[in-house]
């Protein structure tokens, strides 16, 4: 029975994917964008109302990961703090953020969100461009696989202005930043941003 099901359902899926691979060679944006959505899992990580959750789907359809709970919430909060570099008004002192100059090349923005106090370290170039961000983020990329605070952050390769705001436009993000264990797992390029 299982073999029959694999043949009935598996063969059409393999044929469809092979067809997509062949069609991808065409200069057709629609086909290429469909293929790109099939290549990588869809990701959804959110922190709202004091709690976080993570979801991953294969091809945007098959659920792979569904996580919630205190550890996920604490990790999602760290990610949200890193993403404040794209919503810079959230880092204003009027929002409760305490700023300190560390040295000529770095500053710290410390904020309290719920029960957590998080410090975002910003490293800048001599001309003021943002070079890197770092926090201690809750995660389980540890030696024993248990949760703990781990150096986390992003390297800023480019900045661009959108609507009068200059933000990081090309970044690489990873765990263990600033150490020889640094592992970049995410890259992004911002092509457009609208601020309201």
The pLDDT score that the predictor gives to residue 46 is 74
| Tens of pLDDT, residues 73-132 | 899 899 999 999 999 889 999 999 999 999 999 999 999 998 899 999 999 999 999 999
The pLDDT score that the predictor gives to residue 41 is 58
- Residue 23 clears pLDDT 80, i.e. is over it: no
Q: How many CB atoms lie under 10 A from the CB of residue 109?
A: 22
Q: How many CB atoms lie under 10 A from the CB of residue 175?
A: 19
pLDDT band per the 50, 70, 90 thresholds, residue 160: very high
Structure tokens at 23: 């069609």
- Residue 24 clears pLDDT 50, i.e. is over it: no
SS3 189: strand
SS3 123: strand
CA distance 188 to 169: 8
Q: How many CB atoms lie under 10 A from the CB of residue 183?
A: 10
Cα separation values, 39 from 33, 59, 125, 170, 174, Å: 10, 7, 36, 21, 21
CA distance 142 to 75: 14
The pLDDT score that the predictor gives to residue 50 is 77
Please tell me the number of Cα atoms within 13 Å of 66 on its side-chain side: 2
């Amino acid at each position: 029975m299982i073999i029959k099901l694999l043949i009935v359902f598996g063969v059409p899926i393999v044929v469809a994917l092979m067809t997509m691979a062949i069609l991808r060679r065409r200069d057709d944006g629609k086909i290429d964008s469909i293929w790109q959505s099939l290549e990588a899992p869809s990701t959804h990580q959110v922190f709202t109302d004091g709690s976080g959750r993570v979801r991953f789907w294969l091809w945007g359809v098959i659920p792979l990961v569904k996580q919630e709970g205190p550890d996920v919430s604490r990790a999602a909060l760290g990610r949200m703090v890193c993403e404040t570099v794209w919503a810079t008004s959230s880092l204003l002192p009027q929002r409760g953020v305490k700023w300190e100059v560390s040295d000529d090349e770095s500053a710290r923005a410390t904020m309290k969100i719920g029960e957590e106090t998080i410090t975002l370290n910003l490293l800048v170039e001599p001309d003021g461009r943002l070079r890197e961000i770092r926090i201690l983020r809750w995660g389980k990329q540890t030696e024993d696989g248990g949760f703990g605070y781990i150096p986390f952050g992003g390297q800023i390769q480019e900045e661009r202005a959108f609507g009068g705001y200059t933000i990081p436009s090309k970044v690489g993000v990873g765990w263990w930043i600033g150490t020889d264990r640094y592992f970049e797992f995410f890259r992004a390029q911002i092509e457009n941003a609208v601020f309201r």
